[in-house]
Amino acid sequence: MIAKKSFFEIGKIFDVVSGRTSNLKLLAPGNTPFVSASEKNNGVTAYVDDNPTFPGNLITISRNGSVCEAFFQPEPFCASLDDIRVLIPKGFKLNKYIGLFLCTVIRQEKFRYTYGRKFGTGRIRETLIELPAKNEDEPDWDWIDNYIKNHLLPHNVVFQNILEDKFNTASIIKSGHTLTVANWKTFKYGGENGIFIIKNGYYNKKPDHTEPGTIPFVGSSEFNNGITEYYSLDEISNNDKDSRSKKHDISLKIFKGNSVTVSNNGSVGNAFYQPDDFTCSHDVNVLLLKDREWNKYIALFICTIIKLEKYRWSYGRKWRPMRMPESEIKLPVKENGELDFDFMESFMKSLPFSSTI
């Protein structure tokens, strides 16, 4: 059911207060999250040896630097006096579901604060955000909470894991892992000396959709892991792209999970790890590793590298399987020149939210 909506000033539903800590350099390393003007790591830039100045279950907004970045803070924290404003709920209880919904809505206002405009306390209070509403004076917090739990979560494993992990951002800050490409090596995608087995997708259009399903359909999309719909096995079996494909076995239409998909048309160059069995369009190539199985850490590392090459396929250029084998990708190697999969995996495990993958 679609909710009614209304606009609310942030200052009507939250008290907007300044951070309390002015000089991070004077604080020793410790275990309390310190939030400042960053767009990464949930806004946490250090862990300090200081008592938290704010309880958990609050939202932080950067007013300077990475302006209008909003993050839900589940644990007690410290925050920069100059760069951070903290939102304290008025008359309602904030939880992680409502908090993440609100952060997403607040970030939609970022475009207003480019070119050096700061997001001061007064502007934050006066900013209008559109929310599901019981009436023009009261947001519908129950609707937001139920929407996240019952609509978004069942189809978004990453979001589920982030919530369950309590937003662990400490790993990269404390690990000291760094990334340098100076000694990486260039490899072909396919062919005799390539590193991938490249498979064609199947459908040239989505099947007709008549019933709820659980099998992901991966298309040429840059959103939602490339998944544009979920189908039942019957729908996939009974829909064919042409008369010849009516004779095709279902095994030709379903691809095994633990694969990487890359769009070769439309949103070209978007690469995603697919943990579960899926079907896809012919606008998608499926990649397997030649010499080993994927795991989710190695796959996500390589997907990120593939996406960095997207600019090569703009202006209508397609990246069909006949062109992809000769394409090149630069990746970490060991001293003997072999791909260093152990480094890729350990680096991914060092990143924020790595335990949610």
The domain tally of the chain equals 2
Whether residue 257 lies inside any domain: the answer is yes
How far, in Å, are 209, 218, 243, 323 from residue 202 at the CA level? 17, 10, 14, 18
> 15: which 2 tokens?
């008290």
Asked whether residue 250 carries a pLDDT value surpassing 90, the answer given is no
Domain shared by 135 and 199, yes or no: no
Average pLDDT of the residues in 177-188: 78
Token couple for 71: 């993050």
Range(s) of the domain holding residue 295: 185-356
pLDDT at 119: 81
How many C-beta neighbours within 10 Å does residue 50 have? Answer: 17
pLDDT at res. 351: 73
Any domain includes 334: yes
- Per the domain annotation, does 178 fall within a domain? no
Q: How do residues 121-156 score in pLDDT, each as one tens digit? A: 899 999 999 999 998 889 999 999 988 887 666 555
Query: Do 229 and 269 reside in the same domain of the chain?
Result: yes
pLDDT exceeds 50 at position 167: no
CB 219 within 8 A of CB 226: yes
Residue 184: pLDDT band (50, 70, 90) is: very high
Same domain, 334 and 189: yes
Does the pLDDT at position 178 exceed 60?
no
Is-contact 86 136, C-beta < 8 A?
Answer: no
More confident residue, 177 or 90: 90
Q: How far is the first Cα of the chain from the last one, in angstroms, to the nearest whole number?
A: 31
pLDDT reading at 322 higher than 70: yes
User: What average pLDDT does the chain have?
Assistant: 84
Mean pLDDT of 231-250: 72
Cα torsion for 85, 86, 91, 93, to the nearest 10°? 150
- The answer to whether residue 109 scores a pLDDT higher than 70 is yes
**% of the chain exceeding 90 in pLDDT:** 47
Whether residues 337 and 287 fall in one domain: yes
Listed residues 103, 125, 160: the one ending a domain = 160
Choose among 76, 65, 83, 70: nearest CA to 23. 83
The answer as to whether 174 is a domain residue is no
Residue 154 covered by a domain:
yes
Q: Is the same domain home to 72 and 9?
A: yes
220 and 156 in one domain? no
CATH code for the domain in which residue 304 is found: 3.90.220.20
CA angle 69, 74, 77 (to 5 degrees): 80
Q: What is the pLDDT of residue 242?
A: 59
Final residue belonging to a domain, choices 92, 127, 160: 160
Could you tell me which residues come within 8 angstroms of residue 253 by beta carbon, excluding any fewer than 6 positions away? 202, 203, 236, 237, 279
194 and 257 share a domain? yes
Asked if residue 190 and residue 338 are part of one domain, the reply reads yes
pLDDT in tens, 28-73: 888 899 999 888 888 998 888 889 999 999 999 998 878 889 999 9
Which segments within 19-68 are labelled E, that is strand? 29-35, 44-48, 58-62
Please indicate, yes or no, if residue 308 is contained in any of the structural domains.
yes
Q: DSSP H helical segments within the chain, as ranges?
A: 10-13, 96-107, 121-126, 141-147, 157-164, 170-175, 233-238, 296-307, 341-349
Question: For residue 172, what pLDDT is reported?
Answer: 44
110 with 240, same domain: the answer is no
Residue 54 DSSP class: B
Per-residue pLDDT, 254: 92
Asked if the model's pLDDT at residue 245 lies above 60, the reply is: no
What is the DSSP-derived secondary structure letter of residue 329?
E
| Cα dihedral value 273, 277, 279, 282, nearest 10 | 40
Q: Band the pLDDT of 251: cuts 50, 70, 90.
A: confident
Residue with the two structure tokens 């929407």: 147
In tens, the pLDDT along 252-286 reads 889 999 999 999 988 889 999 999 999 998 899 99
For the cut 80, the answer to whether the pLDDT of residue 248 exceeds it is no
142 in a structural domain = yes
Tell me: do 207 and 288 sit in the same domain. yes
29 phi and psi, to 5 degrees? -60, 145
Whether residues 297 and 152 share a domain: the answer is no
The verdict on 156 and 198 lying in the same domain is: no
